[in-house]
Structure 1
Amino acid sequence: MNKQNKLNLLTKISVLSVSLIITTGPAISPLLPDISNHYNNIPEAAIESLSTVQQFSVIISLIIANFISKKIGIKKL
């Protein structure tokens, strides 16, 4: 596999993983009451953290992206 194909594959994987991280929180939010009812031995706060924990990675990524874009350029980022 040549360098250009590796770069294209890495780009596709990166975009898909970012998309997955951003969309999972809102996708499972409506199901939280059902999950809470099914797993009544788990605290409700722990179940609600399912939809909020991954948003921290989004916030951190946005903050880091600003510094990275200043270092390497927006086009490369």
Structure 2
Amino acid sequence: MKARVQVMLKDGVLDPQGEAVRHALGALGFDDVTGVRQGKVIELDLAETDKARAEESVTSMCEKLLANTVIESYRVEID
């Protein structure tokens, strides 16, 4: 089973990497980009075959390691 976790900074948290990308895009002539938020995607291969248990396990991984839940939010997808 595969899991995909998307981690993004929460709204209102300063995103200096996103701002740097927005600035660079503007310098390249893409002036219509008014905001960029940068995050990360983590893909996991799981031995678990039960979707509910896999989602529970990955959520626990996010809470303990994969996301800093003070400043980041996350979304889990199980395939």
Q: Would you tell me which structure has more strand in proportion to its own residues?
A: 2
> What TM-score results when the alignment is normalised by the length of structure 2?
0.25
Which protein shows a greater Rg? 1
> What TM-score results when the alignment is normalised by the length of structure 1?
0.26
Q: Would you tell me which structure has more helix in proportion to its own residues?
A: 1
Structure with the larger RCO, 1 or 2 (CA within 8 Å, 6+ apart)? 2
